[in-house]
């Protein structure tokens, strides 16, 4: 086994001389063998070995015994020991994670702290070739986005790199090593429980694969490394291209311009969605499957100009015409309607912009444009009301026979759903819509040669280019 692991480390350039290596040790066969192997190797290659053990406090009695076992193992060999007890159930409750995900978070948080404490170059973990097979197959069955390439040989972490020197060997080889070195590892009874998916794959699927090809782990490992190299290259390419289709990018909100997004090569589109979701979720990124990515993809390509998806942890994906908005911000999801009287002269500030009103008897200085509404003041019923749209609102537009639904006008102008909820309408004393700022003027109160007093309404967006 030592020869195979040495060769794997050499091929993947995992270790440098005179390095500090933190080893994650549970006390089980895999991690104990890794600790012993690296400790033995350190005698010749001058590594500083630090064992990091995490007591998850999930198994009454036995987990505390594991702690003492690893501590004693290290003391007998002069290995630095860093142990910590964590309350996994509290973290699970606080973050809404599964017990396994909460345990993993606690474990890696401790590993990070120990690496920083010792300014370590490496965190060595004991995942092996059989773990690789199980992980790849599990991720394929789940439809997981991350993980089709399996467990990486190395990746950046804390002050250095996570390395996995045992990925080139099997569980059986590790157990044989423990026998040869007279190690007596602890056994976690939960590894035999059928309630965990990995255990079911280990008991039912792995033996069949091993029977077909005892060296299958080597093929899975080569495939993993090839897929991982492809993934890294394509993600970098995607990052470069996706920046060209983003209208906005903050920690809580990303807005995609739909048509430019559709112009990207298809493989980059799905990867782009994936990267955006990972960016927004950050450290709380859940296990999203292909189906989540596909739903976002379908929303972007839908024939309907608008729609919404609700993803885990409150992430909202909202499509409105040429924009697709991804956000955790729920403030704009349920916007309350408003209705306020507009004094003349006077002005009112709405969520979208400012509406002002005045009376005049001289139109020579007034500019007629979509941002201004001018009518015969004597033909208008006061008071004027500024309010949001209600069901059934219609307007008699200049140049048209009959009336038109306000909702249809919003659609014709491709106004986003969130803006429709806050777009101000001006109504008269009879609750008839006389002006939709920027979008439509009513024929009511049209100016004639007989008009002597004029009502002038004007509108200014809070932000330029808000349509």
Q: Closest Cα partner for 158 from 118, 193, 100, 106? A: 118
| Range with the poorest average pLDDT among 9-18, 58-67, 226-235, 449-458 | 58-67
| Range with the poorest average pLDDT among 80-94, 286-300, 401-415, 430-444 | 286-300
Q: What is the tens place of the pLDDT at every residue in 212-222?
A: 999 999 999 99
Give the confidence band of 331 by pLDDT, cuts at 50, 70, 90.
Answer: low
Q: What is the tens place of the pLDDT at every residue in 421-430?
A: 899 999 999 9
Residue carrying structure tokens 């059986």: 172
CA 240 to mean position of chain CA atoms? 18
The whole-number average pLDDT for the span 266-280 is: 91
Give the confidence band of 146 by pLDDT, cuts at 50, 70, 90.
Answer: low
Region label for 126, one of left (φ > 0), alpha (ψ between -120 and 50) or beta (otherwise): alpha
Give the confidence band of 333 by pLDDT, cuts at 50, 70, 90.
Answer: very low
- Taking the C-alpha atoms of residue 141 and residue 467, their distance in angstroms, rounded to an integer, is 45
The whole-number average pLDDT for the span 51-55 is: 95
* Angle at which helices 88-95 and 99-118 cross, to 10°: 110
For residue 290, what pLDDT is reported?
79
Q: Does position 332 have pLDDT exceeding 60, yes or no? A: no
**CATH class, 2-214 region:** alpha beta
Q: What is the tens place of the pLDDT at every residue in 151-190?
A: 999 999 999 999 999 999 999 999 999 999 999 999 877 6
Other residues' Cβ atoms within 10 Å of the Cβ of residue 169: 23
Work out the mean pLDDT of the chain and round it to a whole number.
89
Q: Does position 61 have pLDDT exceeding 70, yes or no? A: yes
The whole-number average pLDDT for the span 40-48 is: 90
Which residues, in sequence order, are bridge partners of residue 257?
A: 323
Q: What is the tens place of the pLDDT at every residue in 334-383?
A: 556 889 999 999 999 888 889 999 999 988 878 888 899 999 999 999 99
Q: Which CATH architecture has domain 339-461?
A: 3-Layer(bba) Sandwich (3.50)
The residues spanned by each domain of the chain are 2-214, 235-327, 339-461
CATH fold for the domain made of 235-327: 3.30.465
């Amino acid at each position: 086994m030592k020869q195979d692991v040495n060769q794997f480390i050499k091929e993947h350039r995992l270790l440098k001389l005179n390095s500090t290596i933190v080893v994650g040790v549970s006390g089980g066969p895999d991690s104990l063998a890794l600790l012993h192997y690296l400790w033995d190797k350190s005698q010749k290659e001058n590594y500083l070995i630090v064992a990091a053990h995490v007591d998850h406090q999930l198994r009454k009695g036995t987990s505390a015994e594991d702690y003492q076992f690893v501590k004693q193992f290290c003391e007998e060999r002069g290995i630095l020991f860093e142990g910590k007890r964590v309350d996994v159930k509290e973290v699970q409750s606080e973050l809404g994670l599964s017990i396994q995900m909460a345990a993993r978070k606690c474990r890696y948080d401790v590993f990070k702290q120990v690496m920083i404490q010792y300014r370590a170059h490496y965190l060595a973990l004991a995942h092996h070739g059989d773990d690789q097979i199980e992980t790849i197959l599990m991720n394929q069955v789940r439809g997981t986005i991350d993980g089709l390439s399996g467990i990486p040989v190395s990746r950046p972490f804390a002050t250095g790199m996570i390395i996995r020197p045992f990925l080139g060997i099997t569980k059986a080889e590790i157990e044989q090593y423990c026998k040869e070195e007279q190690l007596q590892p602890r056994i976690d009874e939960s590894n035999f429980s059928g309630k965990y998916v990995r255990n079911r794959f280990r008991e039912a699927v792995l033996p069949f694969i091993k029977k077909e090809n005892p060296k299958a782990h080597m093929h899975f490992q080569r495939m993993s490394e090839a897929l991982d190299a492809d993934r890294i290259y394509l993600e970098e390419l995607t990052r470069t291209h996706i920046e060209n289709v983003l209208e906005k990018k903050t920690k809580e909100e990303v807005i995609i311009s739909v048509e430019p997004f559709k112009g990207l090569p298809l493989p980059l589109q799905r990867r782009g969605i994936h990267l955006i979701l990972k960016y927004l979720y950050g450290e709380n990124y859940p296990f999203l499957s292909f189906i989540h990515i596909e739903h976002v993809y379908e929303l972007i390509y839908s024939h309907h100009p608008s729609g919404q998806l609700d993803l885990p942890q409150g992430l909202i994906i909202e499509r409105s015409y040429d924009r697709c908005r991804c956000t955790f911000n729920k403030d704009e999801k349920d916007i309350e309607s408003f209705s306020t009287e507009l004094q003349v002269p006077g002005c009112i500030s709405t969520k979208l912009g400012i509406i002002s009103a005045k009376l005049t008897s001289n139109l020579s200085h007034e500019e007629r444009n979509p941002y201004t509404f001018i009518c015969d003041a004597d033909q208008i019923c006061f008071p004027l009301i500024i309010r949001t749209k209600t069901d059934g609102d219609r307007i008699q537009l200049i140049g048209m026979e009959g009336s038109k639904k306000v909702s249809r006008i919003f659609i014709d102008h491709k106004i986003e759903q969130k803006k429709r909820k806050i777009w101000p309408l001006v109504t008269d004393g009879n609750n008839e819509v006389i002006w939709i700022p920027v979008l439509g003027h009513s024929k009511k109160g049209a100016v004639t040669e007989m008009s002597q007093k004029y009502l002038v309404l004007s509108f200014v967006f809070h932000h330029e280019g808000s349509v």
